[in-house]
Amino acid sequence: MSFWNNKKILVTGGAGFVGSFIVEKLKERGVKEENIEVPRSNICDLREKENCKRVVKDKDTVIHLAAVVGGIGANRKNPGKFFYDNATMGIHLIHESWKANVQKFVAIGTICAYPKFTTVPFKEENLWNGYPEETNAPYGLAKKMMLVQCQGYRQQYGFNGIFLLPVNLYGPGDNFDPESSHVIPALIRKCVTAIKNNEKEIVLLG
C-alpha cells in the first residue's frame, strides 16, 4: 500500500511551473486526482485568511508552492508587493494548517533567502550569516519567515512543518517573459531568438 493512498493533498501553486510537475508525481505515487486540490489565484486569493482556512480544511498534507515572484526587474519594481503577498500567504497558510491539524506542511523557500555574500555552493548553516542581496531581499525574507514560523510552531505546538530550499530551477513550462523571468530562462530565450535570427552574439543585460 502506498504512503499516499487516500491522502488529501493541497498544492498551492500546483498549476505553476514547479507545482504542475509535483502534482503529476503525486498522481504517479498513488494520490487520486480528486484528492489533490490546486487553488487558482484568480478565484482563491491566498492572502485572505478565510480562503486559507477553507482550502486547508480536511487536508492531510499541504505543499505550499504559490508565490508572487519574478526576475531582477520585477523585484526592483515590486519590493513591497513581493514582501507583503508572499509573507501574508505563508503566515495564514501555516497558521490555518496548524489549526486544522494538517499532518505535514511543506513550505518551499528560495535561494534569495541566502546572504548576499556566502560560500558557493550554498550551505544551510550559512543561511543566517548576513543580509540577502538587496534586489531580492523583500521576497527572500518573506519566504524565509516561513522557516521561522514552522520552527516556532514545531517548538510550541508540535506542528510538523518543514522548509525546503531548492536551487535555481528552469525547464519546460517556465516563465520566459523577458520582463519578468529569471536569469536562466531569460538567457535561454535570448539564445533561441539569436539562433532564429542568425545572430552571432547576444547581450546578457538589457
**Residues annotated as part of the active site:** 139
Q: Which three cell numbers stand for residue 89?
A: 500567504
The grid cell for 92 is 495564514
46 vs 52, 54, 105, 155, CA distance in Å? Answer: 6, 10, 16, 25
Question: Rounded to whole angstroms, how far apart are CA atoms 75 and 85?
Answer: 13
Q: What stretch of H or E contains 138?
A: helix 137-157
Tell me how far apart the alpha carbons of residues 53 and 196 are, in angstroms, rounded to a whole number.
Answer: 49
